[in-house]
Each structure stands twice: as structure tokens, then as C-alpha cells.
Amino acid sequence: MKFSCLIVDDEPLAVALMENHIRQVPFLALAGKCFNAMEAIAFLEKNEVDLIFLDIEMPYLTGMQLKSFLPEKQKVIFTTAYSAFAIESYEKNAFDYLLKPITFERFLKSVKRLQMVEPVKPAVVSNPAEAHIFVKSGREIIKLEYDDILYIEGLKDYVCLVTETDKVITYKLMRELEETLPANFARIHLSYIINCNKIKKISDNQVIIQEKNLPISEKYRESFLQKVSNRML
């Protein structure tokens, strides 16, 4: 598994150093670079990342101020030249605090903790009585069998669960839904989770389910193909 990372820093040289550190670590993947907090907010509205390397002293909004806008679960490592912010960073539930200039040794020690704290995914649903999900859609509560779901599409703060005969839209984040699904579901893209039992074909960077072509993004490609290879002849 690779952890996606975002660098937020107004100093180009600091960004270049962090980018180089990330590329040296096999389990990290650089998702983006932002040079101020406003760019980061715009980026995060359209993208999810596992970890943010966040500078503190920046124009418009400081790193500390930006942290207060982020979800509580978002992992943040503060990167700064000022040791005076250390206590405040941990009060804001920072994953770590790196003091510039950041050596690769210290960087590696910090990010290796990701592998130790990554939560275990829920086990596959095996009880027939739990083989379905209730979805609140508007004023209705709809029962969907997991086996009937072809794929799930993310629509910002909503998700659309697609079956052969229906599309059910509900208020839910993709990441939250992903954590509750059985093991035969796989994330293939920021916007798509698929039911692997419904795959018709995998072609290049696309999954074909029914007549729908769904993209496989670089972030999820390795974990998805690993799941598929476990069932390959």
C-alpha cells in the first residue's frame, strides 16, 4: 500500500527537498504541491490524501489556521524552521513535527510510523443477515443487497450506489463508506469503488462493468491489481 502525500509550503526549495524525500520512500506517493494554504484548500476539495506535510509560516493562512479547517482524521506533519510551535502543533493533534532543515533520516523515522498506525479494514461480511445495507436517500430508507451493487461513484459530499436497475444517492463521504464495505469491493479511483464480483474485463487503465468504463487511477492501481491477482488463474 502507498500513502498519498501533499506538500504545502511557500518556499520552493523546501518543497523540492520534501518532494525528493518522498520519492526515496517506496510506500509514499506524491499527490500534489501547494505553495499556500488557499491552494491547499482548493486541492483538497477535489482530492483526498493520506498525509499532509504542512509549513506553518505562510501567507493568507498559517499552517496552524489551515489545520483547524481540516477533518480531525487528516494526518498532518508540520514542517517549520521555528521550534516555538512544537507544543501548539501537538495540541492540534499533529501526527509529527519536523524542524527545518529536515534530514532524510528524521523524515524516514516520522513517515514509517504510518505503517504502524494504519487502521485495519473491517472483515468481509459473511453473515447472510448482514449481506445488505440500508441507505437513506431523501425521505426514503432503501435496502440494497451488497451483491446487487455494481459500483459506487463519489459526488463530492454524496455517493451514488449503482445497481442494474437503480441509482441511489445519499449524503456520505467515499472514505467513510469504503471503510464499511465487504472485502469484494475495491477503490480504483478517487471517484469510484467497484464490486469486484461484477467486473467484466480490465483493459489498460479501465475496469469494464456492464457497459460502463471506469478509470483506474495511479494511486489505487497497485492495491486493486493485487486484489485481482489473488483470484487469477
- Residue 202 burial class via C-beta count within 10 angstroms: exposed 0-12, middle 13-18, buried 19 and up: middle
Whether 3-117 and 128-229 share one fold: the answer is no
Instruction: Give pLDDT tens digits for 99-140.
Output: 999 999 999 999 998 877 654 344 344 444 458 889 988 888
Q: How far apart are CA 144 and CA 163, in angstroms?
A: 9
Fold exhibited by the domain 128-229: OB fold (Dihydrolipoamide Acetyltransferase, E2P) (2.40.50)
d(CA 41, CA 117): 25
Tens of pLDDT, residues 47-89 = 999 999 999 999 889 998 999 889 888 999 999 887 776 666 6
Q: Right CATH number for 3-117 from 3.40.50.2300, 3.40.50.1820, 3.40.640.10, 3.40.50.1360?
A: 3.40.50.2300
pTM of the full structure: 0.52
CA distance 209 to 207: 6
Q: Domain map of the chain by residue range?
A: 3-117, 128-229
Q: Are 9 and 18 in contact (CB under 8 A)?
A: yes
